[in-house]
Structure 1
Amino acid sequence: MSAPEIVPVGTAGARPEHLRGRGARFRRLPVVRQVRQSVGLQRGMLVAGLVLCAVFVLVAAGADLLAPYGWSQLRDSEAAFGAQQPPSAEHWFGTTVGGYDVLSRVIWGARTALLVVVVAVAASLVVGVLLGLVSGYFGGWLDRVLVLVADAIYAFPSLLLAILLAIVISGGQSSMWGGILAAALSITVVFVPQYFRVVRAEVVRVKAEAFVDAARVLGTPHRRIMTRHVLRNSVRTLPLIVTLNASEAILTLAGLGFLGFGIEPTAAAEWGYDLQRAVADVTSGIWWTALFPGLAIVLAAIGMTLVGESLNDLADPRLRTRARSGTVTGAVAATSVVSAQSDARKEDA
């Protein structure tokens, strides 16, 4: 008779090591880690924002499959759509004053907004981080000039500056990519000072640390110190700014389109332009031409704002510790010694 297998205490039912490693890697993913750290209302805000952002991205990526018609299509194989038609089985969101399908314009407008947001945020991130790194690390007259220019740009109203730059950059172009690049670059100039100021302040703080002085003493080149030591410790707050700027980019693009400085309607669908064309319809009782583009702008901006605000709260250790301590305190109170003794007295009575 073989001896029974001895199982160490506490290891029964334990997951294999390779599965534990996969689970640990999954829990360390950026979005998963933030969701696990959040609690209560904070987690609800973060999850709601992530859902709205995911829907926005999926609709923009699958516009070819989801949109029943093209963004500038006025008729199908049978007849013209007709202007200001109410929602029906053929046109779920109705048609605009120009005869376009509202649902198709909303779906294609999501792709336009996503392209503008990606180009604007990526360009401003690269330019702002590079200028902030160079300015904060070397200092001197270059730092003073860049700070002065950034403060001057930051003092201008962002929408007014975007309008002026859109006029200069577009040059009368009406193509899809010409309009997208013009809108994105005009928004980029507005965002660059924000990244510049944040990165410069972090670089000035990090370059005074002992490990940077040790790298200089060892003869490490400036480029390696800037990229390997200073930059890696100066960009921790950038994801928060990216999410908030993405929301602001959507609102700025909608503002440009509403004021008539955005993308031409025959070049690409744009929510702000559709909303501006629908202003006159509202007074006539035609609500569908303004409701759905405006709702798309609001939901996309709210989703990104919720994600940014939740990440901002999670980055603050005081808020995260306070939320977690409140949750732990409630659990401990339910199983405390005092509570157990009071329950025992009630049973004896």
Structure 2
Amino acid sequence: MSAATTGPRALFRRLPVVHQLRQSVGLQRAMLVIGLVITGIFVLTAAFAPLLAPYGFAQLRDEDGSFGAQQAPNSKHLLGTTVGGFDVLSRVIWGTQTAFLVIVVAVILSIFVGVFLGLISGYIGGWLDRVLVVIADAVYAFPSLLLAIIAAIAISGGQSSFWGGIFAAALSITVVFIPQYLRVIRAETLRIKAEAYVESAKVIGSSTGRIMFRHVFRNATRTLPLIFTLNASEAILTLAGLGFLGFGIEPTSAAEWGYDLNKSISDVTSGIWWTSVFPGAAIVLVVLGITLVGESLNDLADPRLRTKRRAGTGPALTAETSAVPGGSLADVPNIDGLEGRA
């Protein structure tokens, strides 16, 4: 095997999003690139929030004195101040960090629990499968936001500190996401369990655990990057909904876009637009970026759509093909002479 197929560059090209980016063309590539750029800005802003934010998320004054409530955008506060006297720009930037941490914790917990239960349910089957499916369907039947509110109240009483609030919100969202992963992985496991290589592994005496986690797991989890992106955008909306309804993180513990939108409701009727526009735009842009990535990966995962796009980019290739073995008709020498001999 050559170094070109096993080196770091080849491994980089096989990464999920990089591989799909190389496959994409036209509008699909544009959607994926735009989504990746928006998502990348979101991630970088969350990582460098302490350096980018001019003030703290709960800061009300500086060396010149109090900020003042509902100040219009100016040189000191580029996006103005809220009704509580917080700097809007700082709250928006710090809010990216809160949203990112909740997404990471919620989706990772959902993946671990949902994938494990899906493997067990699909491979072992029997009464355990029926019980897990019934529980997943019962949880899935509840409205996701209502279920997250109930879980948030049960976990932390609806209000908490920074890490306590993040884990409470993440666990609330995890309860909503676990049935989705369970159903997807269970369906893939049922399909893969009937494949010939799984039957061969059973014949040669491989243990159940080895078959599940070496053969079935590796093939059943190929759609996880796609599900991850779709659930990440849903996690943002669920977190914002919890904060908007007053079940999120306390404003003195962390910045949260949903809470800021809730406090800006009365400002809208008074003509004070900046306290609601910027947190709302942050939610819309982040969800848009992650959704564009997820939808692009979903389309590129369908070989039929990918083949149509590639065929549309090079129609001349089809015209050059021929049914004559070994090449086109032009490559056959002295066709007239052959016909005369016949």
Q: How does 1:54-69 map to 2 (within 5 A)?
A: 54-69=40-55
- Alignment partner for residue 233 of structure 1, among 219, 229, 240? 219
Q: After superposition, give the CA deviation of every residue in 1:146-195 in whole Å (9 maximum; x if it has no partner).
A: 00000000000001110111110113652101111110000000000000
Report if the CA contact (8 A) 2:152-2:158 is conserved: no
The CA deviation at 1:30 is 2.8
- Alignment partner for residue 284 of structure 1, among 260, 266, 270? 270
> What SS does the corresponding residue of 1:132 show, helix, strand or coil?
helix
Taking structure 2 as the reference length, the TM-score comes to 0.90
- Alignment partner for residue 178 of structure 2, among 192, 196, 210? 192
Equivalent-residue separation in structure 1 for 2:70 and 2:64 (angstroms): 18
The CA deviation at 1:124 is 0.4
Which residue does 1:92 correspond to in 2?
78
Which residue does 2:338 correspond to in 1?
none
Which stretch of the first structure deviates more once superposed, 27-36 or 128-137? 27-36
State the 4+ residue runs in structure 1 displaced beyond 6 angstroms.
Answer: 17-20, 330-333
Structure 2: stretches of 5+ with no match in the other structure: 320-329, 331-342
Equivalent-residue separation in structure 1 for 2:142 and 2:21 (angstroms): 37
Which residue does 1:114 correspond to in 2?
100
Which stretch of the first structure deviates more once superposed, 21-30 or 308-317? 21-30
Equivalent-residue separation in structure 1 for 2:55 and 2:120 (angstroms): 49
The CA deviation at 1:77 is 1.2
Is 1:153 matched up with 2:152?
Answer: no
User: How has the CA–CA distance of structure 1 residues 19 and 139 changed in structure 2, closer, same or farther, with 3 Å as cutoff?
Assistant: closer
Cα RMSD, aligned residues only: 2.0
Q: After superposition, give the CA deviation of every residue in 1:234-261 in whole Å (9 maximum; x if it has no partner).
A: 1111111110000000000000001111
Q: Given residue 222 of structure 1, which amino acid in structure 2 is its aligned partner?
A: T
Which residue does 1:222 correspond to in 2?
208
Equivalent-residue separation in structure 1 for 2:318 and 2:50 (angstroms): 54
The CA deviation at 1:19 is 11
User: How has the CA–CA distance of structure 1 residues 33 and 76 changed in structure 2, closer, same or farther, with 3 Å as cutoff?
Assistant: same
The count of aligned residue pairs is 320
Equivalent-residue separation in structure 1 for 2:150 and 2:4 (angstroms): 57
User: How has the CA–CA distance of structure 1 residues 310 and 143 changed in structure 2, closer, same or farther, with 3 Å as cutoff?
Assistant: same
Equivalent-residue separation in structure 2 for 1:45 and 1:296 (angstroms): 19
Which residue does 1:261 correspond to in 2?
247
Report if the CA contact (8 A) 2:82-2:88 is conserved: yes
User: How has the CA–CA distance of structure 1 residues 332 and 223 changed in structure 2, closer, same or farther, with 3 Å as cutoff?
Assistant: closer
The CA deviation at 1:216 is 1.1
- Alignment partner for residue 36 of structure 2, among 47, 50, 56? 50
